[in-house]
Amino acid sequence: MKITTLLSGAALAFGLAFGTSAAAQDCPRGDLDKRFCDADGDLLADTPTDPAQQIDPDELIFAYTPVEDPAVYKTAWSDFLTHMEKATGKKVIFFPVQNNAAQIEAMRSGRLHIAGFNTGSNPLAVNCAGFNPFTIMASKDGNFGYEMEIITYPGSGIEKMEDLKGKKIAFTAPTSNSGFKAPSAILKADYGLEAERDFEPVFSGKHDNSILGVANKDYEAAAIANSVMARMIERDVIKADQVKTIYTSQTFPTTGFGVVYNLKPELKDKIRDAFFSFEWEGSSLQKEFEKSNEGQFLPMTYKEFWEVIRKIDAANGVSYACE
């Protein structure tokens, strides 16, 4: 099994290897992989109707999107995972993934049950790994999301977007919305700047790498998620005056949290309830995520909340083939 993301114009691709898939099902599925069905039209893989194809693992594996140092987030998620264990009656293990591809591969191959996938990876995780997202983090008053920013460092000579021509710009990974997809579309559509022709693209792997790279003057500019940068400044990883912003986008949905499609329905319900019954006050999760003004899990639908991301993919000529 190979999943390939094709990015026209940028001529970038990555592949993930998996085991043999089940036989194709004769059912409605839209853009989903042939292993899945979408009878209700919500764009998500349905739970298998055959109970023999539903899974009820003794241990549940959880992974958070690899935007920063995984060690930081193992601690941050500890109270939540303890709550999840009580809600489900199962041991829950934190899986510190190093990149988006590894996280998608883990769910696709059955080794990951609960996850938070970054904004740009959600469509690939949904279509090729059977990810069923149902919640995002939001502030206590219900506001949610983040902005993509293009940053540089003081004294770089870059004052506006047009100054990026001829420069080296750091992106995170091809599947990242704020780290690649959105800035690529904006640079081309609004400023006539294309990768390779007008600037040199480099890939750092993660938002914190890009932000640190700019702060340390290793990169002239970078496209990043401002929620990540806010947490890094709050933790004194960088100083606010080490970077400056020359562009801020519209607000995008943040990390989508959910489960793999083939968990038993009653287990899915327990996991969903655990997200919405979690008490943030005084928790390790609050300590970390209040730095980006987040304090609750907000119910959402992939079909509605990720519409803008799917449109960005279309504008970039991105297609997902799960073969």
The answer on 133 and 13 residing in a single domain is yes
The parent domain of residue 74 ranges over 2-142+254-322
5 pLDDT higher than 80:
no
State the pLDDT at residue 323: 61
Residue ending a domain, among 252, 281, 309, is 252
What percent of the chain stands above pLDDT 70? 90
pLDDT in tens, 286-319: 999 998 889 999 999 999 999 989 888 888 887 7
Residue ending a domain, among 252, 286, 312, is 252
Q: Report the distance separating Cα 103 and Cα 101, nearest Å.
A: 5
Pick from 211, 221, 212, 292: nearest CA to 251? 292
pLDDT bracket for residue 321 (50, 70, 90): low
The answer on 164 and 104 residing in a single domain is no
The answer on 100 and 49 residing in a single domain is yes
The radius of gyration computed from the CA coordinates of the chain, to the nearest angstrom, equals 20
Sheet-wide strand order for 146-152: 200-203, 168-171, 221-225, 146-152, 244-252
CB 309 within 8 A of CB 123: yes
CB 162 within 8 A of CB 192: no
State the pLDDT at residue 25: 63
* Dihedral of the alpha carbons of 110, 115, 121, 124, in degrees to the nearest 10: 30
Pick from 186, 258, 176, 187: nearest CA to 209? 176
The answer on 283 and 187 residing in a single domain is no
The answer on 296 and 286 residing in a single domain is yes
State the pLDDT at residue 35: 93
The answer on 223 and 90 residing in a single domain is no
The answer on 269 and 127 residing in a single domain is yes
- Per the structure, the count of domains in the chain is 2
Q: Report the distance separating Cα 289 and Cα 293, nearest Å.
A: 7
pLDDT in tens, 164-214: 999 999 999 888 889 999 999 999 989 999 999 999 999 999 999 999 999
Q: How far is CA 133 from the centre of its chain?
A: 11
Pick from 25, 18, 34: nearest CA to 321? 34
pLDDT bracket for residue 162 (50, 70, 90): very high
The answer on 191 and 153 residing in a single domain is yes
DSSP state of 33: -
Residue ending a domain, among 206, 228, 252, is 252
The residue with greater pLDDT, 1 or 179, is 179
Q: What is the mean pLDDT of residues 234-252?
A: 95
State the pLDDT at residue 315: 80
Pick from 47, 75, 54, 74: nearest CA to 62? 74
138 pLDDT higher than 90:
yes
The answer on 223 and 308 residing in a single domain is no
Burial readout 139-173 (b: 16 or more C-beta within 10 A, e: otherwise)? beeeebbbbbbbbbbeebebeebeebeebebbbbb
pLDDT in tens, 76-115: 999 999 999 999 999 999 999 888 889 999 999 999 999 9
The answer on 227 and 83 residing in a single domain is no
Q: Report the distance separating Cα 145 and Cα 237, nearest Å.
A: 22
State the pLDDT at residue 99: 86
The answer on 273 and 124 residing in a single domain is yes
The answer on 126 and 77 residing in a single domain is yes
16 pLDDT higher than 90:
no
Burial class (CB in 10 A: 0-12, 13-18, 19+), 23: exposed
Q: How far is CA 266 from CA 113, 203, 285, 292, in A?
A: 14, 41, 26, 33
154 pLDDT higher than 90:
yes
Domain containing residue 130: CATH number? 3.40.190.10
